[in-house]
């Protein structure tokens, strides 16, 4: 799972994977929680946009 998060950090946050991997576990947990909230929000927005098209 950490590799997937590090990949996301590289492409979306423009941070090197080693920067994420060197964080404390509490900081990693914060980043992961923030990303999950962002992804959930994006998914809801996509569903709203899809519903408006119909």
pLDDT in tens, 24-44: 999 999 999 998 999 899 999
* Number of domains, the chain: 1
pLDDT tens, residue by residue, 9-29: 888 888 888 888 899 999 999
- Predicted confidence at residue 9, as pLDDT, reads 84
- Predicted confidence at residue 42, as pLDDT, reads 93
Report CA 39 to chain centroid distance, whole Å: 6
The number of C-alpha atoms within 13 Å of 13 and in the hemisphere containing its C-beta is: 17
C-alpha to C-alpha distance for 44 and 53, rounded to whole angstroms: 14
Range of the domain at 38: 1-53
pLDDT above 90 (res 6): no
CB 40 within 8 Å of CB 51: no
- Predicted confidence at residue 52, as pLDDT, reads 87
C-alpha to C-alpha distance for 41 and 3, rounded to whole angstroms: 22
C-alpha to C-alpha distance for 47 and 8, rounded to whole angstroms: 22
């Amino acid at each position: 799972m950490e590799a997937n998060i590090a990949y996301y950090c590289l492409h979306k946050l423009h941070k090197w994977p080693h920067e994420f991997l060197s964080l404390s576990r509490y900081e990693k947990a914060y980043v992961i929680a923030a990303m999950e909230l962002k992804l959930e929000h994006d998914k809801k927005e996509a569903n709203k946009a899809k519903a408006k098209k119909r």
